[in-house]
A and B are shown apart, each in its own frame.
Chain A
Amino acid sequence: MTTSRRELTSTAPLRETMGAYYRSLGDAVERKSAPVAWCTSVGPAELLRALGFAVHFPENHAAMLGASRTANRYLPVAHAQGYSQDICSYLTSDVGAYLAGESPLTAFGLQGVPRADVLVFNTNQCRDVRDWFEWYGRTWNVPVIGINSPRSVGDVTDAEVEDVTAQLEALVPVLEGVAGRRLDNARLAEAIAAARDASSLWEQCLQTAAHRPAPFTFFDGTIHMGPAVVLRGAPEAAAYYRTLLAELEERTRTGVSAVPGEALRLYWDGMPVWGRLRALSTTFSEFRTAVVASTYCNSWIFSTLDPADPWRSMARSSVELFIARSDGPKERYIERMVKLYDVDGIVYHDCRTCPNNTNSRYGMPRRITERLGIPSLVLDGDVNDLRCFSDEQARTNIEGFVEQLADARALASRAAPA
């Protein structure tokens, strides 16, 4: 039996879409065709697009460093600058790569990361994004502005939404000054509508994995989410997801599974281990186990974006983001996903340098397992620092978890009445 991952034909248009995006960043720098803004991955991208900025997402760049397994070359460079090995390895690998004068973007004709005219953060994810942007702001002497979001949000309140709405509106004068143009409300509504369209299509793509067998896994999702991240607010993202959705729906109609012989289904919580995507995908596939859904890929679904109520809906999307929530709403969310995708178990990635996107450190796995009777596994690792990841230990943990789930299923089938 083959255990190889079944490639999606949409990978070719994905590469074209992403390549065109990276080249557009190069144009902005080389030909001065647009001012350049840096934006955190769940920052106010729609606003920046409406103002005509070319938008660079350094988290995407850091993920490229991780996936290309070059991050570990650059981490010590940033550590030596006083940026600790215990903080975000996205930040440290990205800053280290900049200091080393290297970037995977050179493959798309850029000299390196595009020099920013302004850096715009949103701390709904973590404080590190602000520190990251401030490093570049000091280096280039350009403005660093953003939104200081409420964290550990329980049920979202009007006060929290009003707070972020006001912060979003306060960005406009500075951004208009850098862009050299006034904000056009019609363009903002267009960008929000485009983001909403892409978000809805991306959600439909992800939810095809609720089908048995799943046509798409978390590992596929980490690659195919690219346009949802870097083209948020641009029409190209929705165009790509229409293509992907058509292929996934065809797979579900014809019973094509992402994991040959799918026997078990898992949910992944936490960051990917970018440098081990292929290895982990292969390992799970060998065990006929499909990782069908994840908090991570779902985080680029922004269902509340509304072009008719741009500011408040952008604010609400920011405040209600999974990573910004307290454990109560997070657990309710994961429980809904466990049921929707009908999974046998949950894998939590304890990401060494990303405490904000690690949900296994305050007792959550035990609580969810006790409530739902769904076993869980905690894998130690890191998003970009592979020194924090052990291949053999991960493999034994995964294989042991699969044995546990397979034995429980065999026992249940023996106990079931004939």
Chain B
Amino acid sequence: MSRYAGVDSGSWNTKAVIIDDDGIVLGTSVVRSGADLTAAAERSYDEALANAACEREDVTAVWATGFGRTAVPFADGSRTELDCHGRGAAFYVKGPLVVVDIGGQDAKVIRLDAQGQRLSHRMNRKCAAGTGSFLDEIALRLGIETAALDVLASQATEELELSSFCTVFAGTELLTLIRAGRRPSDLAMAAYRSLMKRVIAMDVFEGHVVATGGVVAYHPTMVALLSEAMHAEVTVPPHPQEMGAFGAALAARDGAVSVGPASAERAPIPLAERASDDA
């Protein structure tokens, strides 16, 4: 039996998955990314290997994905998270499908055809609205852990609206509603509804919808709202938070083409380039 690995170096968490030839998940791991992405990748990979009861030398190939994909020095190749979330979702659900990935720092909508080939992708603009960070901000305002938001929202009875487009303004609006005596559970649900509206505005949802990412893994309310808005079932595949890492492991298994340069060859973004270089 061959084993393949994927490491998803995300902005908030680093995830690793070990699979076999058939794509069966043998082990997973989620660790905080912190400031040292390489150290987090090493730690996550080792944890996933331990959970899969195997060693590094047992792994035929390991691929990286995520925003820190070039900071994984032991990776044999890399693919963007746009590819890996689509690839992972298409393993479980046949296309055409739309993959909605809601992570800590960004949200993605990825459209795949019947063969699982990507047709298009959309990412949120440079803004926290529509991402997991929005829920963190709202939880902070309500004085609870983000993980508790879902349970709180499940007790909602009144439909409230957060009308602001901006995370900071939404936070202010929330404080106004708290002062007006609104129930925290209704406010929590309003936050999810606001997030859902941002996501469904990103693209047209044609075909089976699959939701991945940390937000749907820990916030079933979000999935229910997406399903309600689309008048269709939204599938959450196994290991939604590790879906990017799973897709990277599939890319390793399938020998996908790595379009980018290896991490060591990648030119840094030349922030300090001189004016004369361009003029």
Contact = CB atoms under 8 A, between A and B. Distances in A.
B67 A396 contact: yes
- Name B's interface SS: loop
Contacts of A397: 121, 123
A403 B80 contact: yes
B126 A407 contact: no
B121 A404 contact: yes
A411 B115 contact: yes
Contacts of A375: 119-120
A278 B266 contact: no
A407 B117 contact: yes
Nearest to B118: A404
Contact of B275 (A104, A392, A400): A104
A277 interface: yes
A286 B262 CA distance: 10
A286 B117 CA distance: 23
Place the interface of chain A in its size category. Answer: 35 or more
B81 interface: yes
Interface stretch (B20-28, B181-189, B253-261): B253-261
Contacts of B83: 400, 403-404
Q: Kindly state the interface size class of chain B when it binds its partner.
A: 20 to 34
A378 B122 CA distance: 8
Contacts of B260: 286-287, 399
A411 B267 contact: no
Interface string A61-98: 00010011110000000000000000000000000000
Given A223-B279, A403-B82, A380 B125 contact: yes
A389 B271 CA distance: 13
A21 interface: no
A399 B270 contact: no
B106 interface: yes
A286 B269 CA distance: 12
A282 interface: yes
Contacts of B269: 279, 283, 391, 395
A398 to B, nearest CB: 9
Given A396-B123, A407-B117, A278 B279 contact: no
Given A68-B275, A390-B126, A407-B257, A400 B82 contact: yes
A399 B77 CA distance: 13
A340 interface: no
A403 B259 contact: yes
Contacts of A170: none
Interface in B240-279: 256-257, 259-261, 265-267, 269-270, 273, 275, 277-279
Contact of B118 (A69, A392, A403): A403
B60 to A, nearest CB: 21
Given A279-B270, A392-B67, A400 B126 contact: no
Nearest to B277: A278
Contacts of B256: 407
B133 to A, nearest CB: 14
Contacts of A274: 278
B79 interface: yes
Contacts of B115: 411
Nearest to A63: B279
Contacts of A277: 278
A406 B278 contact: no
A393 interface: yes
Contacts of B126: 380, 388-390, 393
B120 A3 contact: no
Contacts of B279: 64, 67-68, 104, 223
10 closest Cβ pairs, A-B complex: A68-B275, A400-B82, A67-B278, A400-B80, A404-B118, A390-B126, A277-B278, A279-B269, A391-B269, A402-B259
24 contacts: A3-B267, A64-B279, A223-B278, A223-B279, A277-B278, A279-B273, A282-B270, A283-B269, A369-B120, A393-B106, A395-B269, A396-B67, A396-B81, A396-B123, A399-B259, A400-B81, A403-B82, A403-B257, A404-B82, A404-B83, A404-B118, A404-B121, A407-B118, A408-B117
